[in-house]
Amino acid sequence: MKLSLRFTVIASLIFSVFAPLKQDALSASTGSGVIINEIAWMGTTASYNDEWMELHNPTDSSVDLNGWTLASADGTPSIALSGTVAPGEYFLLERTSDNTVGGVTADLIYSGAMGNSGESLTLKDSAGNIVDTVDAWYSGDNSSKATMERIDALVSGNEANNWHTSTDVYAGGYGTPKGLNSGSTSNSGTVGSGCGDPGERLNSVSEMTGAINVYFNKCADISSSSPGNEANYNVNLEERLIKRLNEATKSIDFATYEINLPSIVDTLINKAAEGIDVRVIADSKDATDPHYIERFQTMRIYVEKMVRGLDGKVGTADDIIVFSDSPMFAVEESTARTSEGLPATPSDFPVVTVGIGNSNETGHLLVDAEEKSANAYYSPDTQMHNKFAVIDDKWVFTGSWNFTVTGLYGTETNMQQGILDGNQQHVVEINWPELASIYEVEFNEMWGSSSLTPDKTISNFNTRKVDNTTHVIDINGTKVEIYFSAGDNAVGKMTDFVKTSADINTYFTIFAWSDQALVDELKYKWEGSYNDLEGTTTGFDLKGVFDPSFWNQYWSASIDMTGRTVTGSANNPNTRWANPAPVLKANESRKLHAKTMLIDADTTSDPTVIVGSTNWSTNGNDINDENMLFIHDSAITNQFLQEFNARYTQAGGSLQ
């Protein structure tokens, strides 16, 4: 659950202006800001009776505690509060006397012991509204007398991962009475840079219809935040997806370019076993391509687990049907199979010989695909590059993140330790049935039907698709545009939008960009000319970050924008810029995988962010299966700006 910590006036502003971003709150009426911040439920080294608690006010206004209460569910302790907590300050409650915490003056003395096995504490304001709760001892250590410290003021006190055991020494053991919690540059949840803090920060999350939640797996510079609009950063995207999948009561439509995260696979299998309608579209690969041999083998093993279902048997009610743009054959190497709990051979899948592209292939058919003609299929050379899920015909979960170990954790070891050192990514989830139905039209076009059984004779992927979806919708006052590839000219729509609507600034983070028309429109904005090595800067604010993989490729937009000539560029119709733009090569631990463009961020000129799976290239626009969103919303665009500023400064850029 998300805890709102804003004052009522700020909460009202968010409600009226940024309706899709409304946060779940323990007390939607108060927005008081005070939280339960630290608990010495174990006492101190002097005595186990020397218990104490600390409240914290992370806001920029004082809070009057007169008439407030802090009480345990079992009635002990039950504390009548009084006094004032200044902005950013701490309020110390000591049991029995002011000698409980040596050398630190108590703000209030109370009576009543806390049980070491746990308590459920509730903080209420003078009107009896619940402001904060803590329902268990999630951390702390009785042996070393180390307190239980809250990590993030903006995350519920009832979330186990929002607490840790103190590591700072004080007179009574380990704790930080009336001070900043240990291991943190800030635990206030107020504005500041988020890039020195490795902890997950869920600052703006809503479950309401119309919610637009944005998650970044890397840090964000929340000093760029508009009021009450801090981005969600350092987020474990796998956990957010699993949370949504587990909420499904009817259906899950799941389109994945790659998948090798066992927890997601297990979640899909379990939901199918519950009777939820689960449909999966996966991209096939050329199994002989050296770039894919190992990854595609791993993926096919996980796909086979889904196809077998929870009981591990082919052809039973709990099986998940997986469909693709080109057939997949089961892995036959017995050691690889048995190490993942599969039977030593895939003998319960039929052996077939079929045409794939221009050749015939034989194997145990694991996943059927769009049919080219009888017993003939298309080659796997193109990409079903989507990464989206539609849950219960209402939630759409999409973005740049591939559902892979590399995409989120970087390595298997990191995954086991919960370390997010994968590629830089974003995810957007939207709760809007009309949007869900649009994505389902796209899914069904590839699936070939609207039922649980795909129709390979009707199915269309890649260039066989047609433009058959609604492109502009209104989500509680927010205009959202939706474009799919191939067929909708998504990158062309970006180019048109830059040409007609980018008035003040454009910022971007991009993995691969070769589309020349989009580059040319930005050149005109930047220096007032479409011509090679011609123009004068116009004052238009342009910044960007490219993944290093393609920084020096002759076809990359990075070459044009920096005015460089590289091998091969003489044969490419690039238009080099007379005035190099401040675009940079990313400095991430792994790939910069986003495909994100911000238009007129933090202005009144229709702030818009363009996001999705689509690289700005011919393949991304004309061949691959992709999805792209234009979100015309100042708050959402500002959240992406916070993440952009972190990427840009990390690459060595200046925001001035």
Handedness of CA 304, 310, 316, 321 (dihedral sign): negative
**Mean pLDDT lowest among 20-24, 159-163, 274-278, 467-471:** 20-24
- How much is the pLDDT for 517? 95
Q: Which two tokens stand for residue 22?
A: 């409304």
Q: What is the average pLDDT across 401-424? A: 90
pLDDT at residue 198 in the model: 72
pLDDT at 419: 87
Q: In terms of Cα–Cα distance, which of 634, 600, 652, 656 is closest to 226?
A: 634
pLDDT at 86: 84
CA dist 125 and 235 (Å) reads 31
Quote the CA–CA distance of 529 and 577 in Å, as a whole number: 9
603-651 tens-digit pLDDT: 999 999 999 999 999 998 999 999 999 999 999 999 999 999 999 999 9
| Upper half-sphere CA count for residue 280 (Cβ side, 13 Å) | 32
Summarize the chain as % helix, strand, coil (round to 5). Answer: 25, 25, 50
Measured in whole angstroms, the distance separating CA 518 from the mean position of its chain's CA atoms is 27
Residue 264 CA to residue 245 CA, distance in Å, equals 9
The CA distance from 169 to 167, in Å, is 7
What pLDDT score does 356 carry? Answer: 94
What's the confidence (pLDDT) of residue 20?
32
Question: Once rounded to an integer, what is the mean pLDDT over residues 66-91?
Answer: 92
pLDDT tens digits, 14-28: 333 333 332 222 222
When comparing pLDDT for 294 and 88, which is higher?
A: 294
C-alpha to C-alpha distance for 446 and 458, rounded to whole angstroms: 8
- Mean of the pLDDT values across residues 497-507? 97
Residue 132: per-residue pLDDT: 92
Query: In Å, how far from its chain's centre is CA 544?
Result: 21
Q: How far apart are CA 264 and CA 242, in angstroms?
A: 6
pLDDT in tens, 297-329: 999 999 999 999 999 999 999 999 999 999 999
Q: Which residues are 632's β-sheet partners?
A: 479
pLDDT at position 197 is 67
Q: Where does the pLDDT of residue 186 fall: very low under 50, low under 70, confident under 90, or very high at 90 and above?
A: very low
Element (H, E) at 323: strand 321-324
**H-assigned helices in 46-113:** none
Task: Decide if pLDDT at 410 tops 80.
Answer: yes
Residue 572: which pLDDT band, with cuts at 50, 70 and 90?
Answer: low
Helix (H) or strand (E) holding 262: helix 262-273
The residues facing 611 across adjacent strands are 629
Q: Are 592 and 547 in contact (CB under 8 A)?
A: yes
- In the three-class reduction of DSSP (H, G, I as helix; E, B as strand; rest coil), residue 48 is classed as coil
Q: Sign of the C-alpha dihedral, residues 500, 505, 508, 512?
A: positive
Task: Give every CB contact of residue 594 below 8 A, 6+ residues apart in sequence.
Answer: 400, 424, 425, 426, 509, 510, 511, 611
Asked if 227 contacts 10 with a C-beta cutoff of 8 angstroms, the reply is yes
79, pLDDT greater than 80: yes
Rg (CA), the chain: 27
What does the pLDDT read at residue 570?
54
Using pLDDT thresholds of 50, 70 and 90, give the confidence band for residue 446.
Answer: very high
Q: Show the domains of the chain with their CATH numbers.
A: 1-190 (2.60.40.1260), 237-447 (3.30.870.10), 471-650 (3.30.870.10)
Among 1-15, 393-407, 529-543, the range scoring the smallest mean pLDDT is 1-15
What per-residue confidence (pLDDT) applies to 11? 36
| Pairing outcome for strands 359-369 and 376-377 | unpaired
**Average pLDDT of the segment spanning 361-376:** 94
Judge whether residue 191 has pLDDT over 60: no
Q: Hey, what amino acid is at 278?
A: V
Which residue in the block uniquely carries the two structure tokens 């733009």?
581
Residue 197 to residue 221: CA distance in whole angstroms: 11
Note the pLDDT of residue 22: 27
pLDDT in tens, 526-540: 999 999 999 999 999
- Give the percent of the chain with pLDDT over 70: 91
E strand intervals along 386-510: 387-391, 395-399, 426-431, 472-475, 478-485, 505-510
For 582, phi and psi rounded to 5 degrees? -80, 65
- Of the listed ranges 36-45, 160-169, 532-541, 561-570, the one predicted with least confidence: 561-570
Helices (H), strands (E): how many in the chain? 13, 34
- pLDDT of the residue at 60: 63
DSSP states of 360-419: EEEEEEEEEE-EEETTEE--TTS-B--EEEEETTTEEEEES--BSHHHHTSSHHHHHHT-
CB atoms within 10 A of CB 82: 12
Structure-block tokens of residue 522 = 């930005």
Q: Indicate whether 10 pLDDT > 70.
A: no
CA distance 189 to 203: 8
| Exposure class string for 178-205: b at 16+ Cβ within 10 A, else e | beebbbbebbbbbbbbbbebebbbbbbb
**386 pLDDT tier (thresholds 50, 70, 90):** very high
pLDDT-derived band at 169, boundaries 50, 70, 90:
confident
In 3-state terms, what secondary structure has residue 445? Answer: helix
CA 100, chain centre distance (Å) = 43
Q: What distance in Å separates the CA atoms of residue 434 and residue 162, rounded to the nearest whole number?
A: 34
In this predicted structure, what is the pLDDT of residue 2? 30
pLDDT band at 520 (very low <50, low <70, confident <90, very high): very high
First to last CA, the chain: 37
pLDDT of residue 212 exceeding 70, the answer is yes
Dihedral of alpha carbons 160, 163, 165, 167, sign = positive
Residue 399 has pLDDT above 90, yes or no: yes
How many angstroms separate the CA atoms of 252 and 242, rounded?
A: 12
Q: Give the residue from 266, 233, 267, 269 showing the smallest Cα distance to 247.
A: 267
* Pairwise CA distance, residues 221 & 640, whole Å: 10
Tokens of 86: 């200044």
Closest C-alpha among 463, 468, 476 to residue 430: 476
Average pLDDT, the chain: 89
| Model confidence band, residue 290 (pLDDT cutoffs 50, 70, 90) | confident
- Rounded to two decimals, what is the model's pTM? 0.72
Per-residue pLDDT, averaged over 132-146, amounts to: 92
Tell me what the mean pLDDT of segment 325-352 comes to. 95
- Name the nearest CA neighbour of 50 among 95, 92, 91, 116: 95
Residue 87 — very low, low, confident or very high, per pLDDT cuts 50/70/90?
confident
CA dist 113 and 105 (Å) reads 20
Q: How far is Cα 103 from Cα 170, in angstroms, rounded to an integer?
A: 10
